[in-house]
Structure 1
Amino acid sequence: MQQPDDKHTNENQHTNPRLSSTTPSATASRKQGIICNLPAPWIPYAELMRLDRPAGFYAFYIPYLIGLSYGACLADPIPSPTRLSTLGGIFFIGCIILRGAACAWNDNVDQEFDRKVARCQNRPIARGAISTTQGHVFTAALTLAGAPLFIFLPVECSYHAVPITILFGAYALMKRITNYPQVVLGFPFAWGILMSCAALEIHPLGERFRVPTLSLFVANILWTMIYDTVYAHQDIKDDVKAGVKSMAVRFADSTKTLASTLAAIQVGLLIVVGWQADFSLIYFLGTCGGSAVALGSMLARVDLKEPASCAWFFHRGFWYVGGSIVVGLFGEYLARLQGLEVPQVGAFI
């Protein structure tokens, strides 16, 4: 139920038509954002893909940007900005499709839970605008729709697509059997880093790059655990009643302590990345320093008892934390591309 979609705003203003006679009909729609002008029969499917709620898209796309900028720093020869932009565009389209398929699958298997959670009651399958069968057919169609993109990528990328797809499928079931579905969710997101490196024909888990790559991979998993646990606090009361398991439910009274600990480890791992990959001060200031400041300030500010504050953390975290990581790595790439002599951290120790 915590498949990242967007802020809770407006979504919890609707109740389930199957539960209340005062609500809109099953085909009613919020009609927000870019989906407003679509033909009426298409709108529930656009909602199912979360096309009207872009924030969750960043959760899918930013790891690919991290992977591209990281891989560009390791590559020899250094890839051109044109190549990076082209790959970024391919992954942009792919993440729209991937996110749509993941959300469609998640909403279908979670429909009974969603009808018990105020924020999720008006989702298309939960409210009856799309049937279970239609939802599964749509999920399969979206999954297949992403296949042609691999024509433009090295064959190794297709090998990474398999575990990503399986893990996103498994995540939707985890909240029934474990209090740690956020851990499972972190893996397919972080796997985008490996696919991006493969797109640049880098072997990130080879002996030379194994330690920094695994450190970056785990750091992204921890980041997912942090923001999705905070995000899940929006629904914590309903989740407890519905029997949904999550880290928010498990650590309800100590989430900030847990998140702060995970954030400290995340920043530590990002430092390991720079140290092992021999990155310059640009990376350490942008990626490590920027993400440390962003995580610290946001965790201090967020109010877990206020759904709007949890939604703010989720939305802004991609810009502040994710943005810091990407900016630091991309800055490192540009410095190497231009042949700039930037001091290494070791020079100051």
Structure 2
Amino acid sequence: MQQPTNKHADEKHYANPRSSSTIPSTPSSRQQGLLSILPAPWAPYAELMRLDRPAGFYAFYIPYLIGLGYAACVADPIPSPTRLYTLSGIFFIGCIILRGAACAWNDNVDQEFDRKVARCQNRPIARGAITTTQGHTFTAALALAGAPLFLVLPVECSYYALPITILFGAYALMKRVTNYPQVVLGFPFACGILMSCAALEVDALSEQLCLPTLGLFGANVLWTMIYDTIYAHQDLKDDVKAGVSSMAVRFADNTKSLASTLAVIQVGLFIVVGWQANFSLIYFLVTCGVSAIALGSMIARVKLNEPASCAWFFHRGFWYVGGSILIGLFGEFFARSQRLEVLNSSAVISNYLWGKT
């Protein structure tokens, strides 16, 4: 596969032009930014966690923010902004650790594939900077490092830790057995929505909230399928040669049609969420309307045969589409907060006046 030329391309590795059998077990040539200030022995582990490439972090973190925004809109009593800020900070730290563990596991499992794919062949394990045993040990250490975060969250949040871990672990193996690993990937990401609801002590799967919650969950799964399939087009030719399965390989030239269909269903699910949850016009205009425009225009614009364009879609999608979803949800929350404040003030004034008479 042609090497991405966009300097912002996620996971760009400056592939070694030599064959995989001659990849040197030396530090990455991309020693800049965070990697340049770390002690040399630490740099490969920072690479393994993708600390030098933040774009993929948004895929982990945004579902938790979506869950917080949604739960804040349906919670009773309504949570304070301070609580939302606190939880978003906890999940921010948790997602750094979760992403690091997921990437470390994925790179270890996929090291033979990575050596055959130009964009991935200079990853730390693939090039030999980290051994297989060191990679597994580091993965386990990260998993343990995330455990204390559950001490400051409601116990219900811990119920989602096991399925998220299992699903991320399974995803790394799916490209060997199915053309639809992106479907599997969507589920652990979307589980972040449920964990965020639990963090705000919202029973997201209660009889009243089950339908809108599942609609939001499904919309996130579809969004993951869209952006990860387009992202996988960067490696399409190399993946075919290496025997890697994906939706990009399965649909190839029909990916835009598939992405457009999934996008329509995704927006339809957002509409169901707002309808079932009795959200206001703010949600429908921004979360449904603006995100639909952003997603549709990006699908139309992306050039699947250009790796840099696929990377652009992956990067900007989290800002344009994800940002629209979040602005609509948190706009709904703040509007609800203001309505409640007005109602409470009116009740106080009314009680005062009636008391006077």
- What is residue 76 of structure 2 aligned with on the other side? 76
Counterpart contact for 1:57–1:95, Cα < 8 Å: yes
**CA distance in 2 between partners of 1:58 and 1:12 (Å):** 23
- What is residue 136 of structure 2 aligned with on the other side? 136
**CA distance in 1 between partners of 2:318 and 2:276 (Å):** 25
- What is residue 102 of structure 2 aligned with on the other side? 102
Query: What 5-or-longer segments of structure 2 have no aligned partner?
Result: 1-7, 343-357
Alignment RMSD (CA, Å): 1.6
1:198 counterpart letter in structure 2:
A
Q: How does 1:12-51 map to 2 (within 5 A)?
A: 12-15=14-17, 18-20=20-22, 25-51=25-51
TM-score by length of 2: 0.91
Counterpart contact for 1:267–1:292, Cα < 8 Å: yes
Q: Are residues 203 and 10 of structure 1, via their aligned partners in 2, closer, same or farther at CA, if it must alter by over 3 Å?
A: closer
2:272 counterpart letter in structure 1:
V
Q: Residue 279 of structure 1 aligns to a residue in which SS?
A: coil
Query: What 5-or-longer segments of structure 1 have no aligned partner?
Result: 1-5, 343-349
Q: Are residues 220 and 300 of structure 1, via their aligned partners in 2, closer, same or farther at CA, if it must alter by over 3 Å?
A: same
**Mean Cα displacement is larger for which, 9-18 or 75-84?**
9-18
**CA distance in 2 between partners of 1:16 and 1:104 (Å):** 24
Q: Does 1:7 align with 2:9?
A: yes
Give the Å deviation of 1:32. Answer: 2.9
Q: Residue 251 of structure 1 aligns to a residue in which SS?
A: helix
Q: How does 1:216-255 map to 2 (within 5 A)?
A: 216-255=216-255
Q: Does 1:163 align with 2:168?
A: no
**CA distance in 1 between partners of 2:125 and 2:111 (Å):** 6
Counterpart contact for 1:226–1:259, Cα < 8 Å: yes
- What is residue 151 of structure 2 aligned with on the other side? 151
**CA distance in 1 between partners of 2:18 and 2:197 (Å):** 44
Q: Are residues 25 and 186 of structure 1, via their aligned partners in 2, closer, same or farther at CA, if it must alter by over 3 Å?
A: same
**CA distance in 1 between partners of 2:143 and 2:17 (Å):** 30
Q: How does 1:278-293 map to 2 (within 5 A)?
A: 278-293=278-293
Q: Residue 42 of structure 2 aligns to a residue in which SS?
A: helix
Q: Residue 112 of structure 2 aligns to a residue in which SS?
A: helix
**CA distance in 2 between partners of 1:161 and 1:96 (Å):** 15
**CA distance in 2 between partners of 1:333 and 1:308 (Å):** 37
**CA distance in 1 between partners of 2:59 and 2:36 (Å):** 24
Give the Å deviation of 1:28. Answer: 3.4
Q: What whole-Å deviation, never above 9, does each CA across 1:47-101 have from its counterpart, x for those lacking one? A: 0000000000000000000000000000011100000000000000000000000
Give the Å deviation of 1:31. Answer: 1.8
- What is residue 347 of structure 1 aligned with on the other side? none
**CA distance in 2 between partners of 1:81 and 1:332 (Å):** 13
Counterpart contact for 1:46–1:52, Cα < 8 Å: yes
Counterpart contact for 1:15–1:122, Cα < 8 Å: no
Q: Are residues 136 and 29 of structure 1, via their aligned partners in 2, closer, same or farther at CA, if it must alter by over 3 Å?
A: farther
Aligned-residue sequence identity (percent) comes to: 79
Q: Residue 244 of structure 2 aligns to a residue in which SS?
A: coil
Q: Does 1:172 align with 2:169?
A: no
TM-score by length of 1: 0.93
- What is residue 312 of structure 1 aligned with on the other side? 312
2:13 counterpart letter in structure 1:
E
**CA distance in 2 between partners of 1:119 and 1:193 (Å):** 31
- What is residue 204 of structure 1 aligned with on the other side? 204
2:63 counterpart letter in structure 1:
P
Give the Å deviation of 1:34. Answer: 2.0
Counterpart contact for 1:116–1:242, Cα < 8 Å: yes
- What is residue 346 of structure 1 aligned with on the other side? none
Give the Å deviation of 1:196. Answer: 0.1
Q: Are residues 121 and 16 of structure 1, via their aligned partners in 2, closer, same or farther at CA, if it must alter by over 3 Å?
A: farther
**CA distance in 1 between partners of 2:300 and 2:313 (Å):** 11
**CA distance in 1 between partners of 2:219 and 2:239 (Å):** 27
Q: What whole-Å deviation, never above 9, does each CA across 1:2-60 have from its counterpart, x for those lacking one? A: xxxx825742443468534xx65523341232232000000000000000000000000
**CA distance in 2 between partners of 1:29 and 1:211 (Å):** 49
1:323 counterpart letter in structure 2:
G
- Please list every run of at least 4 consecutive aligned residues from structure 1 whose deviation after the TM superposition is greater than 4 angstroms: 15-18
Equivalent residue pairs, number:
335
1:14 counterpart letter in structure 2:
N
- What is residue 337 of structure 1 aligned with on the other side? 337
1:179 counterpart letter in structure 2:
N
Q: What whole-Å deviation, never above 9, does each CA across 1:123-153 have from its counterpart, x for those lacking one? A: 0000000000000000000001000001110
Counterpart contact for 2:181–2:246, Cα < 8 Å: yes
Give the number of the structure whose alpha-carbon radius of gyration is greater.
Answer: 2
**CA distance in 2 between partners of 1:34 and 1:88 (Å):** 24
